[in-house]
Structure 1
Amino acid sequence: MPTLASNAALLIIDMQQGMNQPKLGRRNNPDAEVQMQRLLNAWRQSNRPVVHIRHISRAPDSVFWPGQPGCEFQPALQPLAHEHVVEKNVPDAFTATGLERWLHARSIRQLVVVGVITNNSVEATARSGGNLGFAVTVVSDACYTFDQTDLSGRLWPAEDVHAMSLSNLAMDYAGVVTAHEILGGL
């Protein structure tokens, strides 16, 4: 785990109330929110930048459709008034959001990514961040996903989907560590 710069940014992705909807299915990492809160508290105590990313869906049947409670941040992970909030309409938090510009304007080069869904918005954002030249770290126990059925109809347990997504990221895009390892580097 590389030493974190004093301006390493914590990106908290899509931790909105809609993630608690039973219709999303069975998930892994039941303690992910606890790890996210530990990281958020450490970031705040060290005065490092925090970016809260919120998904605003274009699909009326989404848990993130505007104007419903699912769009709101989970209470334990609410942004403070001075923390940056990014709204996105696609999984990748860099697409059409101004996030890259915001980070560059503050000379931020290191990103620590947590949130949901591991194989969707977390992976898309981490891949783009890596491709754009940021030093990206994904915190494995501060992310989670859901069981997923593949195109052939096979159901994959969330644990397997999570592990494969993190393995894909670790090949070329991001470091993958635990919350304990990150907190040790602060």
Structure 2
Amino acid sequence: MNEEVYARQGFGADMAVAPPFGLLIVDFVNGFADPGIFGGGNIPDAIAATQGLLQEARRRCWPVAHSRIVFADDDADQNIFSRKVPGMLTLKEDSLASAIVPELKPAAGELVIRKTVPSAFFGTTLAAWLTQRGVSTLLVAGCVTSGCVRASVVDAMSLGFTPLVVTDCVGDRASGPHEASLFDMQQKYAMVMSCESALGACAMAG
């Protein structure tokens, strides 16, 4: 990647993180944790790292939202996404593959969004829920970096939230799309930091 071109054209500016903070965990479900279904790559490592991030978010009393891909049992809501990736239709409300991994089980008061497209914001109540809780900076974890994470980050930015992508807490089934997407989000849409750096920046900001 030619970072000099991006810098010369004015991309990649730093943005200040500001409270209130929130956390969005995108699609860390059993099917994406399993390389035999939709997983692979560094997704298991990202799930492990997100446990500490989630614990800290709860300790700091941040609003926390999770997302799952859930299609109707009769496929009545099948769409272009499921036509492109037909296996997505196996993710039903009661399917084990669609359940959030036990390590990140939502706690009482945390929002669980069900979606049928990549973005956790599109056609859901997530933006209103975060707005009602005053969230300004939204930390983002989840998978996959090049798909549902990136789509959710772009929508978060478009809706006026400052996205902060936590690098060790997002994963993809292949390193190429993962690294390229982190670079692209840093240049255009979000702040991109390690978990340690992100939590430190949030603490300094109040």
TM bin (shorter chain)? 0.7 to 0.9
Report if aligned partners of 2:50, 2:169 keep a CA contact under 8 Å in 1.
yes
Residue in structure 1 matched with residue 54 of structure 2 by the alignment: 40
> What is the identity, as a one-letter code, of the residue corresponding to 1:39?
L
Cα drift, residue 80 of structure 1 = 0.5
The one of 55, 66, 75 aligned to 2:102: 75
Q: For residue 52 of structure 2, what is the amino acid of its counterpart?
A: R
- Structure 2: which 5+ runs fail to align? 1-14, 72-77
Instruction: State the one-letter code of the partner of 1:133.
Output: G
**Partner in structure 2 of residue 86 of structure 1:** 113
Per mean C-alpha deviation after superposition, the further-off stretch among 58-67 and 116-125 is 58-67
Query: Relative to structure 1, is the Cα distance of residues 3 and 137 closer, same or farther in structure 2, using a 3 angstrom cutoff?
Result: closer
Normalising by structure 1, report the TM-score.
0.86
Name the counterpart of 2:3: none
**Structure 2 counterpart of 1:85, which letter?**
V
**Equivalent residues of 2:17, 2:162 under 8 A apart:** no
* Aligned equivalent of 1:127, options 116, 133, 154: 154
Residues 11-68 of structure 1: CA distance to partner in whole angstroms, max 9, x if unpaired? 0010111113314364136421121001000011111111111111444733523331
Call closer, same or farther: CA 1:53–1:43 in 2, change over 3 Å. same
In the superposition, relative to structure 1, how do residues 37 and 4 fare at CA in structure 2: closer, same or farther (>3 Å)?
A: farther
Count of paired positions? 174
Is 1:170 matched up with 2:181?
Answer: no
Q: Decide whether the 8 Å contact of 1:29 with 1:141 is kept in 2.
A: no
Q: Is 1:51–2:65 an aligned residue pair? A: yes
Q: Which has the higher helix share?
A: 2
2:27 is aligned with 1:14: yes
8 Å CA contact retained: 1:12, 1:113: yes
| Structure of larger gyration radius | 2
What is the alpha-carbon distance in structure 1 between the residues aligned to residue 136 and residue 96 of structure 2? 34
Q: How much identity, in percent, do the aligned residues show?
A: 33
Secondary structure (helix, strand or coil) at the match of 2:156 reads helix
